[in-house]
A = this chain, B = another copy of it.
Amino acid sequence: MNEQSANTPLSKGSKTKEKILKHSLKLFATKGYKATTVRDIAGSIGIKQSALYNHFKNKDEILETLISDLTSSAIVTLFANKDASELHKDGKSLLMGIATTFKLLSFDGQNEALFKLLMQEIFRNERIREIYNEHFYQENVKKLSGIFFAMMQEEIIKSSDPLLLANEFFSPLFFYQMQVSLLKLDKKSTSSVVSLFEKHVEYFWDNVRQEKTEGLFQ
């Protein structure tokens, strides 16, 4: 009977554990990690603070769990379900897909909170920087740079520095996502920024693609 804990249904306990994570994320993203108290978290769920310690060793462990969850978050797995060897054939539609994903994620509450948490803590938390670097930068920017290289070899796009191109493609998306977050905080209209996601891809693709004809009309 020493394996009890391995096959317990976790039916009720895990519910509050999930609640703690969900509410903590929201609070951390809004007020910041340090400014959020364990009483805030417990209060927002409707339990007493001491109950938190049945699920997490301490406040830090809540943050660490959220950070670990970052590795499986959507923004970090843009290419996860795509077949790497065929990606470069898609051309513009691949890029448009990425931009649309970015745009949609800006308006997904869970992901918006993760983004804000990331932005606020990345300068203080080395672990977050590691995850950002490994999972966002390496997995997305570096991978896209490889795709661009393949596109150049097949003469789909003009040849230039693939890593520069990948940065040029991602940085506006990142910037626009941040703009949306900031505008929403003040309940301002995001429509002008939203349209930039697609405009960026159009502009970008126009610049990199191999011109098929010599005609220069728009």
Contacts and interface: CB of A to CB of B under 8 A. Distances in A.
Instruction: Work out how many copies of this chain go into the complex.
Output: 2
A215 to B, nearest CB: 11
Contact of A34 (B32, B167, B174): B32
B126 A186 contact: yes
A46 B119 CA distance: 32
A32 B170 CA distance: 27
Nearest to A133: B182
Interface of A: 29-32, 34-35, 116, 119-120, 122-124, 126, 129, 132-133, 160-161, 164, 167-168, 170-172, 174-176, 181-182, 185-186, 196, 199-200, 203, 207, 211, 214, 216
A161 B207 CA distance: 14
Contact of A200 (B168, B170, B175, B196): B168
Given A119-B123, A123-B182, A164-B196, 20 more contacts: A29-B123, A30-B124, A32-B120, A34-B34, A34-B35, A119-B119, A119-B120, A120-B120, A120-B123, A129-B185, A161-B199, A164-B203, A167-B200, A168-B200, A170-B175, A171-B171, A171-B172, A171-B175, A175-B175, A214-B214
Contacts of A185: 123, 126, 129
Contacts of A171: 171-172, 174-176
B200 A164 contact: yes
Contacts of A186: 126, 129
A82 B167 CA distance: 29
A199 B160 CA distance: 11
